[in-house]
C-alpha cells in the first residue's frame, strides 16, 4: 500500500513546531519525498520550451493537468540520494564530501516533487506547497544552525510594547548574530517585502544584528498555452533595494536564476547563491 | 438595450492612458457605474453578519454566487448622485457644497458596484476589479491635481542609469511636491510594500520630495461559510513601519477601518482618512 504525500504533510502540520530541527521532522520530509516520487513515477514528462539560457524544463502530466515547470538538470527522482544525505549528516567530513551542489539538487527535488503532486491533485492550491517549502527550509536551516526559530519577537520601544510578526528568526545567542529567514516559492515584484522586513529589524534592533538570508525556490513562470518557461528577474530593482532599503546578507535559490548570478560580480555586490552553499558558509556568516 | 459594465471597462483599457484626468475618462467611469447598477438592481441583497462595530454589510447574490461584502451605509445605488457630482465639479464652491462624505460614498459605490459585477460574472478574477479601481482613483487624483501621472521614473546615480517602476507619480512641477499614489483594493500584510516603495523614493530622490498617499478600498474579509465580515487591521505594525521604514503623508480609505481611525489620535499620529477628504485638503498638502 502506497502512502500519499499528504499523510506526512498532515503530520508535519501537527508536529513540525515542536522541535523544528529534529530528526523526526527530517524523517517526515523524507517520507514525503518518497511518496511524492512514487506519485510522479507513473506520470509523463512533457518537455517545455525554455527561454532561459542553459536550462531545460519539463512538466509532469497525467494527460489532463500539468505541473509547474521542473528544472531537468536539478531534478533527481532517486530516493537513494535522500538516504545518502541522511548518512552524510553524521559528520562534517561526510557532509563536505556530499557537497553543496548535490545538496541543492536534493532539496530542490524534495520541494518540487511535492509542489508538482499538489499541482496535479488540487485546483490552484498555492498555500500547501508554500507551507511545505517553509517546513523544508526552516528544518534544514535549524538543523544546520542547531537552534530552533521563532516567528515573532517583542518590540520594547519607550511607550510601545508590541509583537512583530516576522519570518523565521534564529537567535544564536548573546553577542552572536540572528538570522532572518524569509522563505518563498517565488517572489517576483513582491520581493520588496523581504528588504522591507529587514529594514524594520535593522530599525528596531540596530543595523547588523540580523543577517537577512531569504531562501527562494525559483523565479520561473510558464506560459500555459505556448508552453514557454521564462524567469522573472528584476536585477536593477534589487540593486536599488539593497542600496536604499536594507542590506541582505545572502539571497539563496534552489533553482538559481541566471540573471541574478551576475549580481555577485558587480560593485557593490549582492550575494545570490545556490542554497547548498549555505551549509558550508554558515559558520563564516556567523562571525 | 442595456450595456454591460465590460463595454466601458474595455474602452477604459484602450484609452485611459491618453489623458488620465480627462472628462472622457470620467464619462466612461460614469457609464460603468450606470451599467453596474443596472446589473445589480435585479439581484438580492443577502445580509452578512458584521463583526465590525458600527458597520453593516450585505452581499449581492443571484441565488448561486455571492459578491464581496458591501458596506450598507456607504453604498448608494442611485445614478443621480453621479450626475449631481458631475455638476458639482464645475466650481470649487459647488464641490465644497457636495462635500467629502458624499464624495467618499459615491466613489465607494462606483468601485464596489463594478467589483460585485465581476464577482458574480467571473470565477475568482481579482485583476479586473483591481485595474478598474486603479483607473477610478488615478482619474480622480489627476483631475483634482490637474496633472497626469507617470508610472516609472528614471534613476541617475553615478554609474547607474535605470528606470524604477512605481505606482502612480504626480509631478506638480519644480520646487513643488510630487505625489506617490499606490492604489489597492485591500492590503492586509502586503501593505509593507507601500512603505518600502516610499523608502526607495526617499532614498533615491531625498526625503520629503514625494508625498506618499495610498488609496485603499477596504480591509474587509468575509468568511464564506459563516457569512461573517471582519476587518483585517494591523495598527501596531503600521506604527512600526511609519517609524522605521518611511513616512506616509496620508492613508486614504473608501471604507475606512474602525481600528485605523484611532491612529490619527495617538502620538506620533498616522493620518488615515476617508478618501473624500483628499479633495478638500489637496492644496494644503501641496504647500
The pLDDT tens digits for B12-22 are 999 999 999 99
Residue B123: predicted pLDDT = 87
Higher pLDDT, A55 or A91: A55
pLDDT in tens, A58-72: 999 999 999 999 999
Q: Residue B197: closest CA among chain A residues belongs to which residue?
A: A192
- When the pLDDT of each residue in chain A is averaged and rounded to a whole number, the result is 95
pLDDT at position B42 is: 96
Which residues of chain A does B240 touch, with a Cβ-Cβ cutoff of 8 Å?
A: 155, 160, 162, 164, 200, 203-204
Choose among A196, A204, A241: nearest Cβ to B192. Answer: A196
Residue B94: the pLDDT is 94
> Which triple of cell numbers denotes residue B207?
526625503
- Tell me if A165 and B193 make a contact (CB, 8 A cut-off): no
pLDDT digits (tens, 9 = 90+) for B133-155: 999 999 999 999 999 999 988 88
Name which of A193, A199, A237 is nearest B244 (Cβ-Cβ).
A199
Q: What is the pLDDT of residue B251?
A: 98
B162 forms bridges with which residues in the sheet? B155
- A221 pairs with which residues across the strands? A230
Q: In Å, how far is A235's CA from the nearest CA of chain B?
A: 10
Crossing angle of the two packed helices A100-121 and A79-88, in degrees rounded to 10 = 140
pLDDT tens digits, residue range A153-199?
Answer: 888 877 878 888 889 999 999 999 999 999 999 998 889 999 999 99
Q: What are phi and psi of A70, to 5 degrees?
A: -115, 130
pLDDT at residue B188 is higher than 90: no
DSSP-derived pairing of the beta strands A228-231 and B44-47:
unpaired
In tens, the pLDDT along A201-215 reads: 999 999 999 999 999
Per the CB < 8 A criterion, the answer to whether B47 and B62 are in contact is: no
Q: Which residues of A touch B124 (CB under 8 A)?
A: 124
Q: How confident is the model at residue A83 (pLDDT cuts 50, 70, 90)?
A: very high
- Answer whether residue B286 shows pLDDT above 90: no
DSSP letter string over B218-264?
--EEEETTTTEEEE---HHHHHHHHHHT---S-EEESS--HHHHGGG
Confidence of residue B157 (pLDDT cuts 50, 70, 90): confident
SS3 category, B63: coil
pLDDT digits (tens, 9 = 90+) for B54-72: 999 999 999 999 999 999 9
Using CB atoms within 10 Å of the CB of residue A172, give its burial: 0 to 12 exposed, 13 to 18 middle, 19+ buried.
middle
Average pLDDT, chain B: 95
CA angle, A205 then A144 then A167, to 5°: 40
Do A197 and B195 lie within an 8 Å CB cutoff? no
Which residues of A lie closer than 8 Å to B, measured between beta carbons? 124, 155, 160, 162-165, 190, 192-193, 195-197, 199-200, 202-204, 236-237, 239-241, 243-245
Output the DSSP codes for B22-49.
-HHHHHHHHHHHHHHHHHHHTSEEEE-E
> How high is the pLDDT of residue A154?
85
**pLDDT tens digits along B117-130:** 999 999 889 899 99
Q: How distant, in Å, are the alpha carbons of A76, A83, A84 from that of A80?
A: 10, 5, 6
Cα–Cα dist B48/B72, whole Å? 10
Element (H, E) at B15: helix B5-15
pLDDT at A94 over 70: yes
B25-58 pLDDT tens trace:
999 999 999 999 999 999 999 999 999 999 999 9
Q: Does the pLDDT of residue B1 top 70, yes or no?
A: no
What's the pLDDT score for residue A287? 74
pLDDT at A260 over 90: yes
Banded model confidence at residue B197, pLDDT cuts 50, 70, 90: very high
Complex ipTM > 0.95: no
pLDDT tens-digit series, residues B252-280: 999 999 999 999 999 999 999 999 999 99
Q: Which helix (H) or strand (E) holds B279?
A: helix B278-285
3-state secondary structure of B161: strand
Cα–Cα distance, B47 to B69 (Å, whole number)? 9
Position B32 scores a pLDDT of: 98
Amino acid at each position: 500500500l502506497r502512502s500519499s504525500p499528504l499523510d506526512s504533510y498532515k503530520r508535519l502540520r501537527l508536529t513540525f513546531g515542536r522541535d523544528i530541527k529534529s530528526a523526526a521532522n527530517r524523517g517526515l520530509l523524507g517520507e514525503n519525498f518518497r511518496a511524492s516520487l512514487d506519485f510522479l513515477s507513473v506520470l509523463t514528462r512533457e518537455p517545455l520550451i525554455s527561454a532561459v539560457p542553459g536550462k531545460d524544463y519539463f512538466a509532469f502530466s497525467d494527460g489532463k493537468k500539468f505541473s509547474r515547470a521542473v528544472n531537468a538538470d536539478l531534478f533527481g527522482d532517486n530516493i537513494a540520494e535522500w538516504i545518502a544525505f541522511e548518512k552524510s549528516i553524521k559528520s562534517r567530513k561526510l557532509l563536505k564530501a556530499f557537497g553543496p551542489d548535490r545538496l541543492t539538487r536534493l532539496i530542490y527535488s524534495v520541494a518540487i516533487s511535492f509542489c508538482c503532486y499538489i499541482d496535479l491533485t488540487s485546483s490552484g492550491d498555492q498555500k500547501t506547497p508554500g507551507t511545505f517549502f517553509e517546513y523544508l527550509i526552516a528544518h534544514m536551516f535549524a538543523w544546520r544552525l542547531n537552534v530552533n526559530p521563532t516567528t515573532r519577537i517583542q518590540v520594547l520601544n519607550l511607550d510601545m510594547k508590541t509583537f512583530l510578526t516576522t519570518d523565521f528568526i534564529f537567535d544564536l545567542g548573546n553577542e552572536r548574530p540572528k538570522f532572518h529567514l524569509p522563505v518563498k516559492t517565488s517572489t517576483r515584484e513582491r520581493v520588496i517585502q523581504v528588504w522591507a522586513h529587514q529594514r524594520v529589524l535593522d530599525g528596531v534592533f540596530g543595523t547588523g544584528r540580523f543577517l537577512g538570508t531569504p531562501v527562494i525556490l525559483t523565479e520561473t513562470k510558464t506560459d500555459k498555452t505556448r508552453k514557454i518557461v521564462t524567469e522573472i528577474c528584476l536585477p536593477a530593482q534589487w540593486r536599488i533595494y539593497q542600496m536604499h532599503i536594507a542590506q541582505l546578507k545572502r539571497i539563496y535559490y534552489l533553482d538559481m536564476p541566471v540573471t541574478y548570478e551576475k549580481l555577485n560580480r558587480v560593485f557593490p555586490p549582492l550575494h545570490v547563491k545556490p542554497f547548498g552553499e549555505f551549509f558550508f558558509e554558515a559558520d563564516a556568516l556567523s562571525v
